[in-house]
Each structure stands twice: as structure tokens, then as C-alpha cells.
Homo-oligomer: A and B are copies of this chain.
């Protein structure tokens, strides 16, 4: 990489539609990747696109993706699978005076690259820790950790974060000049993911209380 703080802007990763919303900064890209809970991973089989929701975690310049359906496919591919990895945070609805300028506020990341199957047990263990701690910080210390049989049954993909971009829209609508005088409300409706009260497994014994990290659970800032 010529500049380690930026991802490569290649033909496939360049933001073409509304390029002013695009960014190649690792800082912003990592912030989005660390906040989202689910990614949509696209791959091609016999020219047919598939898009599957998957959990993942980031370790430095690498993503670990947890996905059995893709991994079965990957077993057959020595050199890895070309994927498009997309994570989207929906931050709000943009409500304009004209219907035409309605939009959404969002932060998304699109990455391109070859996903490979993680084979070493040690790296699988690292990947699971990264993924767990990203989704529920502190859970690695609370749960019973995987045994060797479970590790064998776990499929993890690895994807280097090298090529891709972020795209961000925020703030008020951009109405046409003439429309600002219309008597129509305009602005934003913020949206976010919130957690409810933890629901006990009915088979849990009554004296076990939920751990602190499950209260006021929230993503991002």
C-alpha cells in the first residue's frame, strides 16, 4: 500500500455515484466496521450472485467472518473466494420538502478481496475472540470457551482490508432552492439500534443474574 492510512481506490472500489460522500480513510472505515453487527457478503457461483448476512469481527487490517454456507463453498477453492463485503449503518431518515430529495442518513463500507478459510486452530481461536468481543465486549471471559471438537466444527473466513471505500450521508435534506418556502416540515428522523431487557433462557437456574455487559448495551458512540 502506498499510504497505509488509506485503502486503495481502484476501478471497482471507487465511489462513482455522489463521490463527495466517499472516503478511503482507514479511520472512518474501521469505525463503521466496528459498530455494525452484521455484514452482507456477496460472492459469485456460476455467474449467479449470492448475498448472505454474516457476523464478523475486525483484528487490525483483517476481518474474520463467521459463515458456514460460504465456507462449504470455500473448501473447494484453494485460492480463496472473491467477495464483496458490505456493512451498513442506518442513522436516520432524511425528510425533505420534495419527495425527490428524501433520502437516508447512513454510513456504509464496501470492501473487495479474496476471503480464505482459516485453517489453524490458534488463528480460529483468535478470530472467535475478536468476533465475540466486538459483538459483546466481555463475553469471552464469561462463556465456556470452545473445545477442540467445537473448533473443528467452526468455520471462519479471513479477509484482508485492502481495497474498498466508505460512503456517508449525514445532516439535513438538500431541497431545491424554490422549495424552501413551502409550508412542509423537513429535517431528519434519527434511527438507531437499541437493546431491550435481557430475556432469561427458561432453563436457566433462578439464582444466576445477567452480567453487567448486557445492560445498556449499545453500538458505536
Chain A residues close to B by CB (< 8 Å): 12, 16-17, 37-38, 40-44, 47-53, 55, 68-69, 72, 82-86, 88, 90, 92-93, 95-100, 102, 104, 106, 108, 110, 112, 128, 132, 135-136, 139-140, 142-146, 150, 153-154, 172-173, 175, 179-180, 182-205, 208-211, 214, 217
Bound CA–CA A211/B93 (angstroms): 14
The 7 A-B pairs of least Cβ separation, nearest first, read A40-B40, A190-B196, A42-B51, A42-B49, A42-B42, A51-B86, A100-B150
Most chain-B Cβ atoms within 10 A of its Cβ — which of A52, A128, A208?
A: A52
Residues of B within 8 A of A86 (CB): 40, 51-53
Task: Count the copies.
Answer: 2
> Do A194 and B196 touch across chains, with their CB atoms under 8 A apart?
no
Bound CA–CA A112/B69 (angstroms): 17
> Do B186 and A204 touch across chains, with their CB atoms under 8 A apart?
yes
Bound CA–CA A196/B50 (angstroms): 34
Bound CA–CA A52/B88 (angstroms): 9
